[in-house]
Amino acid sequence: MTASLRPFAHGRLIVHAVVGLIGLALLFAPFLFHDFRAQEVAARICVFVVLVASYDLLIGYTGIVSFAHTMFFGLGAYGTAIALRGMGPSFGAILVGGLAGVAAALVLAFLIGLLSLRVKSIFFAMVTLAAASVMLVLASQLSDLTGGEDGLTYSVPHLFAPSMKFLADADGHVVKLFGTALNGRLAVYYFVFVASFLLFLLMLRIVASPMGTVLEAIRENEMRAEAIGYRVVAYRTSIFCIAAVIAALAGVLRAVWLKYTGPDVALSFSIMVDILLMVVIGGMGTTIGSVIGVAVMTLAQFYLKDVMEAVASATGAVPLLPKLFDPDRWLLWLGLLFILLVYFFPAGIAGTLMGKGKRR
């Protein structure tokens, strides 16, 4: 038995080691990467880990296919943006707007859950897709409130502003630590990082609790779970509401970091596609796999074009290769990367590595 469990233990060790390295890179990102683009990538990874892990609670643990997750994400972002725009840059505005967005997400999730979770997967997916489409149209047309297609720009509390200096020298210049200015931008990054980390720990606790076991039972055999006494609709509605609230909180973090909220960054269907791809790449039903899936997908989206440009420049004398690696074809290579990942890791990176030992 010990020999049969060894591959499983090794796979789990590899996954945890990779996730630990990603976590350390995110923890020290402002001091390791000084350019604005790299810090944007790190903050995006933090937020999307929460968003993708919350979606994994639905599709990975409960078997609920929903296309409305960006709607909840957008409600949190727009609630925060509208409050900061109307009330001014204060933590009170973040609190009021964030709570309003979370409350709206919770109410909508509860109504959708009660009305639609009794129907089967594809019909429920269509209902959620319709709800998300309606929210996108409303955000685009209610321009007086949401800014329409242009979105909203606003200021954040002074503590999070780049002009905020935590330490300054005799000449008034901000003090740098390992090349990183100790200013408000550092504060807002660690606000996003710490909040994302706590939300991720909360989700790990949920899936490790008895509720997580019931959700897996519902996913595997809904009729059997109901036959042994579990109220399936109640559990499915509860987890749908929990996932919606966490997604809305992720939207709050995104709004505070970007200082801009619009349909393209909060409600776009392309974000929903990214979430689905990240879940598949990381491994459905693993939670921890969301960290790997988000990191792989985000790094590819931001840096694949740079890698292709470097390859095209290095192979300029070779026929066809410069055209093949033209940066404008980065979506082609991203698609090939996704196909290869699915082929070699059919259950996702974390799912495959941790599942090999189980099969053996």
Angle between helices 232-258 and 69-87 (to 10 degrees): 40
pLDDT tens-place string over residues 19-71: 999 999 999 999 888 888 899 999 999 999 999 999 999 998 888 888 989 99
- Report the predicted TM-score, pTM, of the whole model to 2 decimal places: 0.91
What structural domains and CATH numbers belong to the chain?
A: 2-359 (1.10.3470)
Closest CA to 67 of 110, 125, 138, 18: 125
β pairing state of 260-261 and 152-153: antiparallel
pLDDT tens-place string over residues 182-194: 888 889 999 999 9
pLDDT tens-place string over residues 278-317: 999 999 988 899 999 999 999 999 998 888 888 888 877 7
pLDDT tens-place string over residues 137-166: 999 898 889 988 889 999 999 888 877 777
pLDDT tens-place string over residues 94-128: 999 999 999 999 999 998 887 766 666 678 888 88
Provide mean pLDDT across the span 318-343.
Answer: 85
CB of 286 closer than 8 Å to CB of 354? yes
Closest CA to 44 of 15, 65, 78, 73: 73
Give 342 or 200, the one with higher predicted confidence. Answer: 200
**For residue 360, is pLDDT > 50?**
no
- Cα separation, 197 vs 294, in Å, equals 14
- Cα separation, 78 vs 80, in Å, equals 5
∠ CA 317-319-321, rounded to 5° = 90
Q: What one-character DSSP code corresponds to residue 175? A: P
Q: What is the DSSP string of 79-119?
A: HHHHHHHHH-SSHHHHHHHHHHHHHHHHHHHHHHHHHHTTS
Provide mean pLDDT across the span 83-102.
Answer: 94
Q: What pLDDT is attached to residue 105?
A: 95
